[in-house]
Structure 1
Amino acid sequence: MSTTTVMSTKETHLSRGLILILATACGMAVANLYYNQPLLADISHSFHSTPQKVGIISMCTQIGYAVGMLLFVPLADIRERRKLISILLLAVSLFLIGVATAQNLLWLDIASLAVGITTVVPQVIVPMVAQFADPAQRGKIIGTVMSGLLIGILLARTVSGFIGSFIGWRGMYWIAAAMMLFLVLLLRLLLPQNYPTSTLRYGQLVKSIGRLVVSQRTLREAAMMGAMFFGAFSVFWTSLAFFLEGAPYHLGSQVAGLFGLVGVVGAMIAPLAGRLADRFPAKVIIGIAGGINLLSFVFFWLFGAHVWGLIVGVILLDMGVQGAQILNQTRIYSLVPEARSRLNTVYMVSSFIGGAIGSSLGSYAWTVWHWQGVCFAGGAMAILGVLVWALHRIGERA
């Protein structure tokens, strides 16, 4: 693959303060995808619909995210990133208002799809950070930024659960739109101009993504694992609000959101995973992360009727999924340095296609088989991810 690298005309220094701001921005932006999950039961009551139909909302945001990454994230290799980030944040604020004003499920599904398509700012920021990080500290810095993103994913559920219980699910989306407008101003002020790394045209850029998939075996392995592990993650979180609403818990969206706080404990593994990737072969450690992911569903299946069982399971699930994601991203960013945004596109599109499948599968499994079906569906996706890892290791030794 021939790619011409364009060097920035000025040095960009990643200070600790800027790294923390970018981590926070990633968390605030990605939260848009997950506000709906603790609110699904409330949305179901609002539109007098079934869990299976309302579960499509979560699937739409994740499909949209995959589409947005495919359309917009590669542009970060050929466009000035600060301007691209500003445009995307303005667009997502408008579509969040569309969700807040939805009058029926079809409207809500379409608006949620649009929110997903434009909530790709974190996936523009992360490769940018990888580009400017010292190679010796790249894993650590990526882990720090990703920890902000992952904590945002988890706290989104807590925030939306609380706000939804007080002012309703629509109020949550009005607040989210306002936060995106604030981010536009903040990042426009603080981000330096960030110049393209490639001279390819957009059509050539898209074609080069296919060539990366064909030529980079490690990328294919990471993408398949990411899809399965994030799919398992989505199976659980899409179904949790319905599980807590019924026996034996009889709890509402506020408590469902509180489990996001529990998940933060697991998300704190992100910086540690990055440091481990700087010191040890990431391809080995990923297998451990996959095993932890699978173990979480064993806890959900055996002890899900007890609060402590759910807490331990959530911690294990987030440790496994988030740890594997950091390790995989650290691996792929070293493959073709001038194509980091495109490598990230392949990985994250695959992950969120898996997440969309997991959301749909989770709501279906809950409707037909209830909690045991949810545990089986999530565990099956986790097993497939571990099998991909194991077969790749066997292939390397053959």
Structure 2
Amino acid sequence: MNTEQSQPFVLRQSLLWIMAIASGLAVANLYYNQPLLADMATSFGISRDRAGYISTFTQIGYALGMLLFVPLGDIRERRKLISTLLILVTISLLAAAVSTHIVWMYIASFAIGLTTVVPQILVPFSAQLATPEQRGKVIGTVMSGLLFGILLARTISGLIGGTWGWRWMYGIAAILMFILFLVLRRKLPHVEPLMKSTYRELVVSMGGLIRQYAVLREGALIGALNFASFSVFWTSLSFYLEGEPYHYSSQIAGLFGLVGVVGALGAPVVGRIADRIQPKWIIGCMITITLISFAFFGWWGGSLIGLMIGIVLLDLGVQGAQVSNQARIYALNDSARSRLNTVLMVSTFLGGAIGSSVSSYMWKIGGWSAVSLSGGVFMLLSLLIWSIARWRKQ
């Protein structure tokens, strides 16, 4: 493998915001389904736990898409790669909009996840364009846009799906992706990759990166467990809100995504702190905050105030840990950022898929208390891994 230096490029604030907004719009495709799962269950005539697997298939597809496509960012020109993926996800969203059977919806959901990997190409792309002194802030800004997309997706889909039906949400999403294709093809810079390699060598090299960097192994495990807890909560929230004690519609359930925006606002701040303080300590703090959120869900989830406080803590903790994890991992090897990001994010979203499945199962057997308990267990495991890593390095 040979490496080559890309041409210097100044990352302007306007382009940074375009990348942040694009990340949010693209990643939203993964989460439109969550407030609408109860409506989809009715539409397809299936149980709610079976409807929950729509989210699981999407997360599995996303993890596989990152494994197949995101590493290409190290050896292919990213603007062209991003454009191709946006066209493919547009087609996948249209397929979901016209699905008439749950099996076809599962397949379409998997395809949506498989092709919605543009945010995970944009994040290392922004890190490459940034100076080392700005990297944490830049990653925090793009990741903040990504989390806004995750959270607002639920609000928007709840409102649109609850008013016109869930199929309209997927049709509108397809239009948005085509518009995004036109914008990014025009605005993103042409930057040659940092290395020359075959795809096979690229994939094999990820195993070497995992063996080489203990920080990467630790970050991947923590990312998986944190996102598992995140998915545990959001997969079952619409079921909980439509029953006792709230009896909310899907429109109102979707509005709870707005509460998490408060947590998302902390992402750039966490990124700037990560430029000054060792990210490993920030990660430990964020894991603790996320663990506390599940105490609120389990003990005070029947109170609207308790539920809202828990959502803010959950989104701040998960997002803060993710930004700090990425800032630490991207610093390991400049020419391997896409592959490093692939390892981290494949682990993260496999954790999310596990969390969605666990959430559906725990809701079926034990309701909200069981869901909250399972999320707390995931976070205790995350804190244990973080603590063991600190103890071994003493």
Q: Place the TM-score, normalised by the shorter chain, in its bin.
A: over 0.9
| 1:87 aligned counterpart, secondary structure | helix
User: Please, which of 2, 5, 25 is the counterpart of residue 4 of structure 1?
Assistant: 2
Q: Deviations over 1:211-236 (max 9, x none)?
A: 00111100000000000000000000
User: Please, which of 185, 190, 193 is the counterpart of residue 193 of structure 1?
Assistant: 190
1:221-232 to 2 correspondence within 5 Å? 221-232=218-229
Aligned twin of 2:149 = 152
Residue 131 of structure 2 is aligned to residue 131 of structure 1:
no
Q: Deviations over 1:157-202 (max 9, x none)?
A: 0000000111100000000000000001000111111211111110
Aligned-partner Cα distance in 2 for 1:71–1:12: 27
Aligned-partner Cα distance in 1 for 2:267–2:107: 33
User: Please, which of 92, 95, 100 is the counterpart of residue 95 of structure 1?
Assistant: 92
1:55-66 to 2 correspondence within 5 Å? 55-66=52-63
Q: Which stretch shifts more, 358-367 or 10-19?
A: 10-19
Shift of 1:4: 2.4
Residue 43 of structure 2 is aligned to residue 46 of structure 1:
yes
Residue 48 of structure 2 is aligned to residue 79 of structure 1:
no
Residue 348 of structure 2 is aligned to residue 351 of structure 1:
yes
**Which amino acid in 1 is paired with 2:98?**
T
Aligned twin of 2:362 = 365
Aligned twin of 2:233 = 236
State the percentage of identical aligned residues. 56
Aligned-partner Cα distance in 1 for 2:330–2:8: 20
**Which amino acid in 1 is paired with 2:46?**
S
Structure 2, unaligned runs of 5 or more: none
Over aligned residue pairs, what C-alpha RMSD do you find? 0.7
Aligned-partner Cα distance in 2 for 1:142–1:77: 18
Aligned-partner Cα distance in 2 for 1:130–1:208: 21
Residue 166 of structure 2 is aligned to residue 169 of structure 1:
yes
1:1-398 to 2 correspondence within 5 Å? 3-8=1-6, 10-397=7-394
Q: How many residues of Structure 1 are paired with residues of Structure 2 in the alignment?
A: 394
Aligned-partner Cα distance in 1 for 2:246–2:41: 19
Aligned-partner Cα distance in 1 for 2:316–2:19: 22
Shift of 1:66: 0.4
Q: Deviations over 1:52-78 (max 9, x none)?
A: 111110011111000000000000111
**Which amino acid in 1 is paired with 2:281?**
V
**Which amino acid in 2 is paired with 1:74?**
P
Aligned-partner Cα distance in 2 for 1:113–1:271: 31
TM-score for the superposition, normalised by structure 1: 0.98
Shift of 1:269: 1.3
Aligned-partner Cα distance in 1 for 2:145–2:324: 16
Aligned-partner Cα distance in 2 for 1:314–1:352: 20
TM-score for the superposition, normalised by structure 2: 0.99
Q: Which stretch shifts more, 286-295 or 189-198?
A: 189-198
Aligned-partner Cα distance in 1 for 2:120–2:31: 16
Aligned-partner Cα distance in 2 for 1:201–1:335: 22
Shift of 1:11: 2.6
Structure 1, unaligned runs of 5 or more: none
Aligned-partner Cα distance in 2 for 1:263–1:219: 28
